[in-house]
Structure 1
Amino acid sequence: MSHANAALTPRQRLRMARLIVDDRWPISQAARQFNCSWPTAKRWAERYAAMGEDGMQDRSSRPHRNPNRTPQRLVRKIVHLRWKKRLGPVAIGAKVGMPASTVHAVLTRCRLNRLSHVDKRTGEVVRRYEHDKPGAMIHVDVKKLGNIPDGGGWRYLGKQQGGKNRAATVGAGRSKRRQPLVGTAFVHTVIDDHSRVAYAEIHADEQAVTAVGVLRRAVSWFAARGITVERVLSDNGSAYKSHLWRDTCTELNITPKKTRPYRPQTNGKIERFHRTLADGWAFSRFYASESARRNALPAWLHEYNHHRPHTAIGSKPPISRLTNLAGQYT
């Protein structure tokens, strides 16, 4: 492969080959003139004689045939074991009688070397989708989080002190085992499929009335930023299967869509957002109370929408896909 400082670039090869073929220079003399070996000069001269100027370009070093290549029959068996059994190279190699390194090479060639490339339930290659414009589809879901007791929770203070804080929290209820309960925060999240711009509210339940209220406010929030919502994708939770949800979608001129039962991968964008939400906001630092954590949500959402790079959209923040509306976005 030629490079910037190569002695024989395609232009130099052509000059040397013309001296040998056209001007009848001895190969040894041309080799000394261009500071290369005799076989090298002969090779380029023969290529020039056979192919002309086009023969001076680099060729692929890939062999025309590989008699030791893994037979297609074994490749299919390796892929089948990877998809259906989720086996690694060592286990597959033991079953098919091949070295684990060879199995790994086959899996890499078939883009199956990482289990994240295949669906966990079906074993099929993951099929990703994205709508072509903001508002074409929004994803909705609810993330449940245990409330933080006054004084902080067990994640940062340990089980013993966390339990004491739970018991001392004003208004804490009691479970069937007489354990103190501080309640649950239901984070209703909405994310745009194309831009990944997110909207979230925290409520005390996940009832249909609450979900519908969040949908109405989210649609207004997106509309204020120039986005018209056309479809909404949800799981099969009771709130999203209710008549109230259906009627509200009809009123807002939105087509409701449902995921297949027990298939959260279909709604994977918002599932992944919930993981980011938990790591970046809910459990990212010590909160002395639940109100402190809830007060931190708007600032984190702004950071996520405006500044946090998103790998699925070219390591740019979600707002970058709404550049024509950036001046209106708050």
Structure 2
Amino acid sequence: MPWDARDTMSLRTEFVLFASQDEANIRSLCRHYGISPATGYKWLRRWAEDGAAGLQDRPRTPHHSPNRSPDGITDLLRMAHARHERWGARKIKRWLEDRGHPMPAFSTVHSLMARHGLLPGMPPGIPATGRFEHSAPNRLWQMDFKGHFPFGGGRCHPLTLLDDHSRFSLCLAHCGDERRETVQRQLVRVFEHYGLPDRMTMDNGAPWGDTTGSWTGPELWLMRLGIRVGHSRPYHPQTQGKLERFHRSLKAELLQGRWFADSSGLQRAFDQWRAVYNLERPHEALDMAVPASRYQPSARQYSATVMPPEYDEGVMVRKVDISGKLSIKGISLNAGKAFRGERVG
């Protein structure tokens, strides 16, 4: 996957965060990102020496200033707030520290931000209780459409995909509709970049809903790729609570009060915010680490060629007709329209 100049910094940061984790296979990651091991180790060395600044193509002014004055700290807080105006003191403090700026205690940072009107002006969220997460990346991905909204080119239906373990955003895509073909096209891009998960969960709405009790087209496609599919309970959005929380942050930090003239500008804004969310934004549920520091691409690679199902000897195999039904010994059974034209056992 050659690096695209449009998002080179995001890809470099993503690479070094993945490669810096314990037991990471650096050479495998180099192959995944289409770079040589020498290049990969170069970026790792610069990351270790200079942090985010070391990933720039041009030299940057050193960030370290141990004897920075209180006015200097306030200037840093103003700069950080201008970039992330919806972040509170805890995230701002960690974000600046990750970039090499020594910061005072959280209470001091909070006081300075309050004194200078830099807090987001909203009460802190209620801490989650009984939080559950899967033990490793790619065990479960959560998928949904965020509520659609108007823009200059019509309506946007944002497709979102989140890794349960790391909170890493795998997809934030502008879609003009919520049809199966649209979703499948976006998922292929994700699978090609990050590999395949063990399981995916989604709600019961179109195009992946299971309210009829039979398989849908998207479910059949995922099943053929070896991905197990689950659904949240109807009217229980907390089943996908991490993704719901992601949607709240997306609305507050990017969408609220903004107008987008066209689809290309909208997708650029999505890509930039997703990069910040994955690579820069400290996450309280991760002990203020960034999601990319806990994510690794899946070892299960995507292939566009899907082998037809094989059945054991003695299994009756029937072809599903155009109405989604098959007949066994004169008895008509409903397999679902997703299986039209397929041979099933």
> TM-score when scaled to structure 2?
0.45
The structure in which a higher percent of residues are helix is 1
Higher relative contact order, chain-length normalized (CA < 8 Å, sep 6+)? 2
TM-score (norm: length of structure 1): 0.47
